[in-house]
Amino acid sequence: MKIVVLDGYTENPGDLSWGGLEALGGLTVYDRTPAGRTGERMAGADAVYTNKTPVTAADMDAAPTARFIGVLATGYNIVDTAAAKERGITVCNVPTYGTAAVAQFTFALLLELCHHVAHHADQVQRGQWKARGDFCFWDYPLVELMGKTIGIIGYGRIGQAVGVIARAFGMEVIAYDAYVSAAESVTLDELLRRGDVISLHCPLTPETHHIINARSIAKMKPGVIIINDSRGPLVDEHALRDALLSGKVYAAAVDVVSKEPIEPDNPLLGLPNCLVTPHIAWAPKESRQRLMDTAVDNLRAFLAGEARNVVNG
């Protein structure tokens, strides 16, 4: 059996092992696959893995032996799943590996906005604490979370995990999800109106594209904080920039943007009240190991005739 990984570097930059896949067949791992070479690299493969490299119908036609495509992620929009089904190719994803990591990172972003820890530590190194002469020193407002309301848009596994952490900080949790009903559920309009913090954890669909836009921001409290470590296009970045500049949005932190890697002219760059990180919420080693283990199990189950985590069944 021939197995090809099209873009293995982000999943495994060298601190994990590909041994689980090597035990199932001959393995070729490419760190990255440039546009136009996907079909060529898939040719002759029985199983193909991709993280963010698009796999089109034409690519599948270049690899007529392929019967399995594994996505090294939860989102699978980079694979033409309908074309795969037409060709008898099973597509599987990894649905739950990053729940704890992404929920934790949500609060890493939020706490940085509340306390500016990195900035103040840097100011100490620059001598500013000593220069002020007081026993304490800060030059950003400091924000306490106790008693504030967090509105979570998307209340699946990750959204619920964020809610658990929020309660530990003494926050009130409200949530909106078109498909999940819970005790915390409110309408989207109520969530926008009541949230001191709004955190996005929903999938990208036609309905959620630009769910944060000029109209939805207008419904929010003055001074709201917005967090997005889900999908970049959930946010109209130009509208968010305008709201950050006006002060309607006190601060924002995003781990994802509309086009990745980020373009130099992205409207969220260069703003003192917007923190942008490079899509790393999912990436702790422990999380990536779970992803690897499930990706291997998906292929093993497929070979045993018991396919799991199938997204084009």
The number of CA neighbours under 13 Å toward the Cβ of 49 is 31
CA distance 307 to 235: 35
- Identify whether 261 is preceded by a cis peptide bond (ω within 30 of 0): yes
Q: Are 279 and 260 in contact (CB under 8 A)?
A: yes
CA distance 204 to 73: 14
Q: Is 263 a catalytic residue?
A: no
Angle (deg, nearest 10), helices 157-168 and 99-115: 40
Please work out, in degrees rounded to the nearest 5, the angle formed at the alpha carbon of residue 253 by the alpha carbons of 106 and 180. Answer: 50
SS3 114: helix
Residue 225: what are its φ and ψ, rounded to 5°?
Answer: -110, 135
End-to-end C-alpha distance for the chain, whole angstroms: 23
Q: Which residue in the list 41, 116, 201, 231 is annotated as catalytic? A: 231
- Closest by CA position to 109, among listed 7, 197, 21: 197
CA distance 281 to 253: 12
Q: Which residue in the list 40, 86, 260, 286 is annotated as catalytic? A: 260
Q: And the tokens for 25?
A: 């067949």
- Closest by CA position to 203, among listed 147, 153, 240, 252: 153
Q: Is 119 a catalytic residue?
A: no
CA 272 to chain centre: 23
Single-letter code of the amino acid located at 54: P
Rounded to the nearest 10°, the torsion over CA 34, 297, 301, 71 is -30
Q: And the tokens for 313?
A: 């069944």
Q: Is 260 a catalytic residue?
A: yes
Q: Which residue in the list 116, 201, 241, 279 is annotated as catalytic? A: 279
The catalytic residue positions are 231, 260, 279
